[in-house]
Structure 1
Amino acid sequence: MDRFTDPIDRALLDDWQRGFPITPRPFLTIAESLGTRERDVIARLRSKIEHGQITRVGATVAPNTISASTLAAVRAPHHRVDAVAEVIGAEPGVNHSYLREHDWNLWFVVTGPDRAHVNEALDRIGQGSGLQVLDLPLVRPFNLDLGFGLRGGERRAPVAAPPDASVIVGGDRDIVQALTRGLPMTEHPYAEIASALERDETEIVGRIRTLVEARVIARLGVIVRHRALGWRANAMVVWDVPQDAIPTAGPALAAQPGVTLCYERRPVPGVWPYRLYSMFHARSRAEALERLEAAADLPELRGVSHRALFSSRCFKQVGAMVAEEKVKA
């Protein structure tokens, strides 16, 4: 993170991870706030995408609102890791895929327009790999804000009400899909999305505002690659918390320093007993373990069996699939 000494670069990467302007010329709005030019902001963000420091400027979506998703895993033999990861990554709906330190070593998120689409993708991965696939659907989230600060200190997830899926109307999926892929790096990105969808820019901007206000779009802004910004230790920590203790343990864990994600998932009886999941991100493994030790000492988690599955390799990291691709004639 020390490489980002330029104050404009730091502001772009730190201050605009959420709350991105929903105006016809959003990069101009940012430029005016930073005392620079619109084309400078666009050029800087383009460069950071090209150099792998950010994945896109776009949206993340509240799970299971406008689309469906699940966390999954397989046990790939060491000599087959690359081949199995290729099978997993070939699925368009897989948006995250990581190698982690455990017998269940390949972990991935499958997304799609609905649960049937997710199930079909899981089936194809199982058949293509010849391996059992753990399906771990989300039960409830406690913290789904993946943000990383460059200026020191701890970034806390804002407390927000649950998403209001009742605002979703026909055509919203296509808009959100465009946003999860990433905004065009041009002066009028929303107009470009509108043109591609053969719709009006004013209508598109209005729908985006509605979806953000309803928290269906969980975050709109710069989506960073945490490793490239210095957050090199990434551990998914799973906790064997009894179901009746989840409502108190979840919020306590979500509030801990270094925890960027926290949620309850459905276990697989006899195979995978863990209900409570958390993501710890830190600058080093030692720092992550120190933060994990502090979390494990919480009254709500003291004595609870848990496992830390550190990530050792990222195979895929893209936006979620919300709508199926439309093939133009």
Structure 2
Amino acid sequence: MHLDDLSRRLIDRFQHGLPLCAEPYAAMARELDCSEAAVLDALALLQQADALSRVGPVFEHSRAGASTLVALAVPEERLEQVAAQVNQHPEVNHNYLREHRYNLWFVLTAPHRAQIDQVLAQIAAETGLAPLDLPMQRAYRIDLGFPLGDTP
């Protein structure tokens, strides 16, 4: 996808530090010297092109409740079906495919560990597959920003 100047500046500036205010898109527009409609249009185009999956905060999960990384070994012919079953749970995010015996990976977040255990049991019952529960032992912080700068 070719990025126009506004999209490139939008990504560079707001991968981190999304404005926390009543009108964040208007604040973004003021900083980028454009209209709020232009910001919303650029975000919509990025999402339609699958260049953007979401706009929102990343929370420190340990302060918001509990979370765990989960993997499932799904037979290839059942991948779409099982992914749809897993995605039905509002506690699920970051669902993605990997090249491994454990090929479907996702993160569960909930207010407390007991709810995570309940969702894991539900997923096992619904899919007939045993979830591999991989709770975080230690956090290693990395910067997930990807500056685009003037790259064409």
Secondary structure, counterpart of 1:58 in structure 2: coil
Deviation at 1:138, TM superposition (A): 0.7
Counterpart among 123, 126, 138 of residue 124 in structure 2: 126
Deviation at 1:144, TM superposition (A): 4.8
- Partners of 1:7 and 1:122 lie apart in 2 by 44
Secondary structure, counterpart of 1:64 in structure 2: helix
Instruction: Report matched runs for 1:171-210 at 5 Å.
Output: none
Partner AA of 1:63 in structure 2: H
Cα RMSD of the aligned pairs, angstroms, is 2.1
Q: Which position in structure 1 is the counterpart of 2:90? A: 92
- Change in 2 beyond 3 A, CA 1:35/1:116: same
Instruction: Give runs of ≥4 in structure 1 deviating > 6 Å.
Output: none
- Partners of 1:129 and 1:94 lie apart in 2 by 15
Secondary structure, counterpart of 1:98 in structure 2: strand
- Partners of 1:78 and 1:51 lie apart in 2 by 26
Question: Do 2:12 and 2:146's aligned partners in 1 also have CA atoms closer than 8 Å?
Answer: yes
Deviation at 1:40, TM superposition (A): 1.9
Instruction: Report matched runs for 1:124-273 at 5 Å.
Output: 124-151=122-149
Deviation at 1:103, TM superposition (A): 1.1
Q: Residues 120-174 of structure 1: CA distance to partner in whole angstroms, max 9, x if unpaired?
A: 1111111111122110101111125432222389xxxxxxxxxxxxxxxxxxxxx
Partner AA of 2:130 in structure 1: Q
Taking structure 2 as the reference length, what is the TM-score of the superposition?
0.85
Segments of structure 1 that go 5 or more residues without pairing to the other structure are 154-329
- Partners of 1:42 and 1:94 lie apart in 2 by 26
Q: Which position in structure 1 is the counterpart of 2:41? A: 43
- Change in 2 beyond 3 A, CA 1:121/1:144: farther
- Partners of 2:116 and 2:146 lie apart in 1 by 29
1:65 matched to 2:80: no
- Change in 2 beyond 3 A, CA 1:29/1:140: same
Segments of structure 2 that go 5 or more residues without pairing to the other structure are none
Deviation at 1:83, TM superposition (A): 2.3
- Change in 2 beyond 3 A, CA 1:141/1:38: same
- Partners of 1:45 and 1:70 lie apart in 2 by 30
Partner AA of 1:25 in structure 2: E
Counterpart among 115, 118, 131 of residue 113 in structure 2: 115
- Change in 2 beyond 3 A, CA 1:18/1:123: same
Deviation at 1:100, TM superposition (A): 0.9
More strand by share: 1
Counterpart among 19, 22, 36 of residue 21 in structure 1: 19
Secondary structure, counterpart of 2:29 in structure 1: helix
Question: Do 2:61 and 2:109's aligned partners in 1 also have CA atoms closer than 8 Å?
Answer: no
Q: Which position in structure 2 is the counterpart of 1:74? A: 72
Count how many residue pairs are aligned between Structure 1 and Structure 2.
151
- Partners of 2:100 and 2:20 lie apart in 1 by 42
Paired-residue identity, %:
38
- Change in 2 beyond 3 A, CA 1:103/1:54: same
Q: Residues 44-80 of structure 1: CA distance to partner in whole angstroms, max 9, x if unpaired?
A: 2233334432223211111221121100112122222
- Partners of 2:27 and 2:85 lie apart in 1 by 42
**Larger gyration radius, structure 1 or structure 2:** 1
Deviation at 1:84, TM superposition (A): 2.1
- Change in 2 beyond 3 A, CA 1:150/1:121: same
Secondary structure, counterpart of 2:68 in structure 1: strand
